[in-house]
Structure 1
Amino acid sequence: MSGLRVLKPGPLSLLQDAGRHGWQHQGVSPSGAQDMHAAAWANRLLGNAWGTPLLEIALGGVELLAEVDTCLALTGAEAQASLDDVALPAWSRFAVRAGQRLRIDFARSGQRLYLAAVGGFPAPAVLGSVSTQVREELGGLDGRGSRLAAGDLLPCMAAPEMRGASVPWPYRPDYRATPLLRVITGGDAVEFAAEQLQSFFAQGWQLSPQSDRMGARLLGEPLAPPSRQWSLGVSRGAIQVPPDGQPIILQADRQTMGGYPLLGWLHPLDQWRLAQCAAHQSLRFIQVSISDAQADLREFYRFFRA
């Protein structure tokens, strides 16, 4: 199979899908796309099924040479993209012909872009997923967790030209705005002093430069967490509060067990918004009920998984 030849891989470009589920009891994190909203739109623009493998591009700086006539879609962070130096519209699908060069510059806002192809980028499934987990050496093009490198071939199928289409602007997040992120309180929240919970929601936080695909670290006025004597299984979006009082929000490549007290969980749709925040981004939080979060998530899945 032919596809897209990698000329410049960018700082961190990873093959991802909807995640590696059902293996947490073996200590394997689900991984998957950091921003499932942008990833889902990229696949939907091409008529791909939910979770079809695509490329997650951190920051940009990618250049690819088409070796096949096909159609692609690009969503996510705001970055100038061009095909043979002709600018491409954001959050859109477009046709490419063999010999053309796709260039994606570094992002002006947001952190991750998602490049999808008709039928996806096939790769060997490891534990039921092609998602790249660099730390655990799982998934990716080689099945061993390798990031994209110059010279790699992203295989994809030939496809007839599709008419251009873009995601309507009301459905595109404004990555420059200060996000108000919704939190479902729970876990050890009842063990926190009332003033500590109030402090978490009342103050503004910053995203630490030490954040990554494993966890988003917050910087602000430290909280005083309660003690806990045992570790428990954790999920994406869990808000841990370690002894230094600076919360950590678990991301796609999180660990599967944790011993720090949990203040609650970030709303799933806002986990994906957080994935697009840059270091030092200002963040604020607000409480949401679990029933409201479930209703939002059901609506999301009805649209993208229909």
Structure 2
Amino acid sequence: MKPVNRAGLLLSTATAAVIGSSLYSAGDAAAAEAFSDVRNSYWASESIQHLAEENIVNGYSDGTYHPGEEINRGQVAELLTTAFSLDAGGSAPSFSDLDSGSYYAPFAQAVNEAGFMTGNGSQFEAGQDLTRQQMATVLVRAFSLEAGGGGGDVRDLNEASPTHRPNINILAQTGITQTSSGMFRPDETVTRAQFAVFLDRARAQAHTKDAGITEVAASSQNTVDVGFNRSLSSISVEDFSFEPSVGVLSVNFVDEEQSSVDSSETETVVRLTTGTHETGGHTLYYKDERMANGF
């Protein structure tokens, strides 16, 4: 099996022939702005825009995204195969409902060998819609997500299969699932909009873990402290940016005791001197990757 590349997360559709029905394809970075059925006020617009700007998602040939359309297991298998550069040309299909001529066969085999997705017994069920609880397990496996501190506060967790409950909790603890009602609705199927949001948040969480960032806190209207769980040999202004934009003027190491960061996991604190900002709604980008942290 080809090693899983967790750094390169480019999601694209492999075949132009299926562009009309596929979930994702490489496209124009401004594509999300042209989706006639995804306005800026739409609840998932920000995540769809993030993924489009990185050439991760695109829509249909008529300029729509179809955010409410459900996705199936075969489409997700293809997406993850491309995202993690899995080998889709090797082993023969091991699922009884997929032969060598089945379009989704190589993708199903690739994600199965990578441990991201398994079948239902001997069948992969590529045409079956993916449920929200299944999505939780797929994302936890694919991005190696781990439980955070504290409970997930999922009110309907008992409605989920015992197999998926720990992974739903991980999504809640890491902030990948966020609802004011606390309801996860584990048996409901996943829509394109929902998957974009979950994927966007999972990517940010994985990037944050890889970077070792523990906390981001504004210490004044002109400074932001960033905590790391490791030592850093060097830092640069170019390593840090924010969305919405806040100018980063200089960076320096500071003692944790003199910072606004209070995470017990923090080993190194970097203080950013910035333009004047208001606290709230700013997301950190570190080395051009969007983090799960902000201020």
User: What is the TM-score with the length of structure 1 in the denominator?
Assistant: 0.27
More strand by share: 1
Structure with larger RCO (C-alpha < 8 A, sep 6+): 1
More helix by share: 2
User: What is the TM-score with the length of structure 2 in the denominator?
Assistant: 0.28
